[in-house]
Amino acid sequence: MTLPDGDRTVVTMHIWGVPTAAIASATMAMALDRRPLRNYPGLTFAKLLGTGLGRTFTVRDADPRHWATLCCWSTPEAAERFEDSEVVRRWDARSEERARIVMRPLTSRGSWSRKTPFGAPTPQRWDGRIAAITRARIKTRLWPTFWRAVPPVSADLRQRDGLQVALGIGEAPVGLQGTFSLWRDSHALRDFVYRGEPHQRVMARTAEVGWYAEELFARLAVLSADGDYRRQSIATL
């Protein structure tokens, strides 16, 4: 399960759950934390993200009580130093729930905000827990057809053996959508991606309709996972 030491890139995902009284503060932090986060040493890519249920990718899915940061780091040491940053301290102070996942890219295809945040990793075998990140910028005129296609895929996803965590992520309520999912192993993820009939239909329609102005799909090895999400310990799922 051990990955080679040649590439020391590390990806961290923080998910914070805030009480109702802190929703306004969390919403403001999405704008106020951009500059201090962007200037943090060792950071190569970062996104402050709202979250949702990921069932329709419309505003109905929005979860104002859970927020996330996705960060790529040049070294594991830089990722660890970030835990003592003002950004993390402020989020911890306003939150009643916190989860942190540390990952290493395994495969990545596409771009995010015209960048390739996870590089071009050489595919490697990984037998442990695995995370999948998708992100798409949907063409405005195609929002309605995309929204109609999502619910069957979401329903199939949540019935899959091996799925441990799934949430929608986005930089905006509509149009800039993505998913983050945590799986028992790569076999469970591949079974959903390549054998799930609803997902296969959407993949076929993607080529036909051309929903996306930009898209990314990445798989990442989960090096560690701790904390709680929706009152469940992600370390023991």
201-236 residue pLDDT tens: 666 666 666 667 788 999 999 999 999 999 899 987
178: confidence class by pLDDT, cuts 50, 70, 90: confident
Task: Kindly state the percentage of the chain with pLDDT values over 70.
Answer: 78
For residue 141, the model assigns a pLDDT of 72
Q: Which amino acid is at 74?
A: S
Burial (0-12, 13-18, 19+ Cβ within 10 Å), 144: exposed
Q: Provide the CATH number for the domain around residue 144.
A: 3.30.70.100
**pLDDT tens by residue, 146-177:** 666 666 666 767 777 888 998 889 887 654 57
The closest alpha carbon to 181, from 215, 214, 149, 222, belongs to 222
Give domain status of residue 152, yes or no: yes
The DSSP symbol for 2 reads P
In a domain, 218, yes or no: yes
In angstroms, the CA 173 to CA 175 distance is: 7
Is 98 contained in some domain? yes
111 falls in which pLDDT band (50, 70, 90)?
A: very high
182 within a domain of the structure (yes/no): yes
pLDDT at 3: 53
Residue 30 in tokens: 């999405």
Asked if residue 2 belongs to a domain, the reply is no
Beta strands, E only, 33-150: 43-52, 62-73, 97-110, 130-138
Query: How many angstroms separate the Cα of 181 from the Cα of each of 77, 102, 117, 191?
Result: 25, 13, 18, 14
pLDDT in tens, 55-93: 555 566 789 999 999 999 999 999 999 999 999 999 999
- The pLDDT, as a whole number, for residue 212 is 74
Instruction: Answer whether 9's CB lies under 8 Å from 72's CB.
Output: yes
Is 237 inside any structural domain? no
Structural domains of the chain, count: 1
Let me know if residue 36 belongs to a domain: yes
Highest mean pLDDT among 103-107, 122-126, 187-191: 103-107
Contact 52, 170 (CB under 8 A): yes
Identify the domain containing residue 17 by its residue range.
10-226
Does 107 map to a domain? yes
2-49 pLDDT per residue, tens: 455 557 899 999 999 999 999 999 999 999 999 888 889 999 999 999
Element spanning 50, H or E:
strand 43-52
Looking at residue 121, the DSSP 8-state letter turns out to be P
Handedness of CA 186, 102, 121, 127 (dihedral sign): negative
Question: What is the per-residue pLDDT for 55?
Answer: 59
